[in-house]
Amino acid sequence: MSTGSDLIMSPEQRIPEHVAIVMDGNGRWAERQGKPRTAGHRAGVESVRRVMEVCGEEGVRVLTLFAFSSENWKRPKSEVNLLLDLFLVALNQEIRRIDKRNVRLRVVGDVSAFPHKLQQRIVEAERLTANNDGLLLQIAANYGGRWDITQAARGLARQVQAGKMDADDIDEDSIGRAMCCSDVPDPDLFIRTGGEQRLSNFLLWQSAYAELYFTDVLWPDFHEAEMRAAIDDFAARERRFGLTGAQLESSSC
């Protein structure tokens, strides 16, 4: 996990290392076209493909997509089942393309709640791409930021109980190491499509210093141009991490 002082960009560092995206608007996209919500979710898969390609071309190291939140179980059962089926179909259809592009796939979240067949396919897909050293594509599935913090706290509590560490040793670094995605940089750029302007329980801890980018574009319409616009917007920002502009300028000299 990276800290703010480690992430201060020089003027040349225009590309975010880690991009996190809340892919919102699939259902509304479909409804506006008089189609069932399922059509929007299917159309969203194409946007994943295009955004992944742009990130690979631009040199982004990590792309994390919020595919299925821990709150999504509250949706109608028919839609939940469709989302799970679509996840399985997308894995089957896209994994060879992902592997061919030297992309490594990782699924983060509590996948134990998924059907066994989907769990098995996730393991197979991760194993197939494990040796790829290009873009790391992380799919957050049955994931929630509060769940992430809770499971980290439980893990540390068990270590204290087992005598492997003292309670006084728990600090930001130890908590960060116990969370999902602890082996990759924190998100530099947090994108949400669909017009809403909230985090929706996604990477809460990790996004403390992320640059937030909100767009009204619905996810199925978020293609190459929109992704490049978000990266350009990121490049134009001054990231201070709690410092003043004068401190930031002196640190880059």
Q: What do you get for the CA distance between the two ends of the chain, in Å? A: 25
Cβ atoms of 210 and 192 closer than 8 Å: no
Task: Choose the catalytic residue: 6, 24, 131, 169.
Answer: 24
CA 202 → CA 1, 64, 67, 91, 92, distances in Å? Answer: 16, 10, 10, 22, 26
Q: Who contacts 191 (Cβ-Cβ below 8 Å, separation ≥6)?
A: 19, 20, 21, 22, 213, 214, 215, 230
Cβ atoms of 100 and 55 closer than 8 Å: no
Task: Choose the catalytic residue: 72, 99, 110, 233.
Answer: 72
> Does the active-site annotation cover 72?
yes
For the record, the structure tokens of 3 come out as: 């800290």
- Opening angle at CA 101, ends 26 and 22, nearest 5: 25
Q: Which residues participate in catalysis according to the annotation?
A: 24, 72
